[in-house]
Amino acid sequence: MDLQHASEVISRYIWECSNIIHAKGHNIAKECGLTYDQYHLLIYLKNSKEPPTINEISNILNRAQNTISEKVTRLEEKGLVKRIDDEKDRRIKRVFVTEEGLKLVETIKKERNNRATYMALSKMEYGEISNLLSALEKLYNNLKEGEDD
């Protein structure tokens, strides 16, 4: 197999593995009482450097403000997020993930890893896992070096 073809096949496998793991996360989130959008909103809020406003969230997620506001309200009712006053402008509300919301996201992540990655790896030999890990690490580092290209 030539390098071009290998590159395409490897990219496709990585893409498909990611999709499978992602879908398992959605299924687990659903089991925990979250919709697809609520789950993604929680992840976005968890990864935000500072609590965003409804307007900022709607711009990032490309959704109407009233849609985002409704989703935030549903998550608030579940105790997973909270609206707080902006420190500089009391007219502005910011949305942050509560401790309960953070725990739920971590629970879903761990369960997803158990049901997807761990179960798949448990069917492989130790040497195969070690080789895969080593090869993925090299691929990652090479991709990282090439980011400036």
Here the tokens at position 71 are 């989703």
Q: Is residue 95 predicted with pLDDT exceeding 80?
A: yes
Structure confidence at residue 66 as a pLDDT band (50, 70, 90): very high
Domain 3-148 part of CATH 3.40.720.10: no
Residue range 29-63, pLDDT digits in tens: 999 999 999 999 999 999 999 999 999 999 998 99
Query: Which DSSP category does 88 fall into?
Result: S
Cβ(116)–Cβ(24) below 8 Å: yes
Higher pLDDT, 147 or 122: 122
pLDDT over threshold 70, residue 149: no
Q: From CA 54, how far away is CA 43, in angstroms rounded? A: 15
pLDDT at 146 over 90: no
Between 88 and 133, whose confidence is greater? 133
When pLDDT is averaged across residues 94-113 and rounded to a whole number, the result is 95
Residues 6+ apart with CB under 8 A from 62: none
pLDDT at 15: 96
Average pLDDT over residues 132-147: 92
Assess whether pLDDT exceeds 90 at residue 65.
yes
Q: What is the pTM of this model?
A: 0.80
Distance, CA of 13 to CA of 8 (rounded, Å): 9
pLDDT over 80 at 147, yes or no = no
Residue among 29, 7, 8, 25 nearest 117 (CA): 25
